[in-house]
Amino acid sequence: MKFCLLASGSRGNAIWVEEGDLALVVDCGLSAREFLSRVGVAGLDISRLSCLLVSHEHRDHISGLGVLARRLKIPVLANAATCAAASPLVGRVRWEIFTTGDTLNLGPLKIRTLGLSHDAVDPVAFVMESQAGRLGLATDLGTPTELIKYRFQALTALILEFNHDYRLLMDGPYPWPLKQRVRGRTGHLVNETAATFAAKLYHREMRYLILAHLSEINNNPALALKVARETLDGALEPVAASQWEPTVVFEF
């Protein structure tokens, strides 16, 4: 399995995953032009892309989705509530609806969909499994629930939000209601909570931990990486994804 975070942050998110002859993208909050540019920078083959998978309807995850799906003539997979909420922004696309909790069988990938506590209509995380291993994706988590802890066992790679540093958030420019939203159970993970969760999931076969959805204002890669490294105590070297450029293409 290969994966690449083409963009990660409040200005736009997109994650490329491929296995065998299948390639899909989770979310597209980039313009179609920027998305295609980053696919080229990462050395990926856009002709292999067969579908788009949506985690939730917030703009930083879907703003480029409609144009891209129409241009490439590929379907968009989402649950019914996300489809209804996203449609006014996305426009006409070929929706394929799943129910949260379903397991999707897409060629060589088995994709388990898991409900989250984030403040969207029906947000989901994904566990993607093939013969090569298991990839967990939770970029807007809210709270690490027992379900997520259970389903995210035995991962080969984990993409997990490290959204904010507590002090930067509290001393920063956000109005108080927004600070409360970010800190709340349906908001975003603070670095320490994300790192503790990742450490609980770590096992000797885990190869990658990608820190995702870092806030430009309330976090920075150095802070997030420091917390992750200290909490994992050298067990694994984390990588911080960027808003501005794709990561390397990871493979297992």
pLDDT above 90 (res 174)? yes
Q: Is the pLDDT of residue 142 over 90?
A: no
Q: Is the pLDDT of residue 251 over 90?
A: yes
User: What does the pLDDT read at residue 218?
Assistant: 97
DSSP 147: H
Q: What is the CATH number of domain 2-241?
A: 3.60.15.10
What integer is the mean pLDDT of 120-124? Answer: 97
- pTM score, whole prediction: 0.96
DSSP-assigned beta bridge partners for residue 114: 125
pLDDT for 185: 86
Bigger pLDDT: 135 or 185? 135
Domain boundary assignment for the chain: 2-241
pLDDT at 212: 98
Torsion of CA 112, 114, 119, 122, to 10 degrees: 70
Sign of the alpha-carbon dihedral angle for 9, 12, 13, 16? negative
pLDDT band at 8 (very low <50, low <70, confident <90, very high): very high
What value does the mean pLDDT take over residues 64-90? 98
What is the predicted pLDDT for the residue at 74?
98
Token pair 């909490």: residue: 231
Which pLDDT score, from 0 to 100, does residue 86 have?
A: 98
Distance CA 237, CA 252 (A): 16
The answer to whether 127 touches 156, Cβ cutoff 8 Å, is no
* CB contact at 8 A, 61 and 52: no
| pLDDT tens, residue by residue, 18-54 | 999 999 999 999 999 999 999 999 999 999 999 999 9
Q: Is the pLDDT of residue 5 over 90?
A: yes
Residue 59's SS3 state is helix
Q: Taking residues 56-73, report their average pLDDT.
A: 98
Average pLDDT, the chain: 97
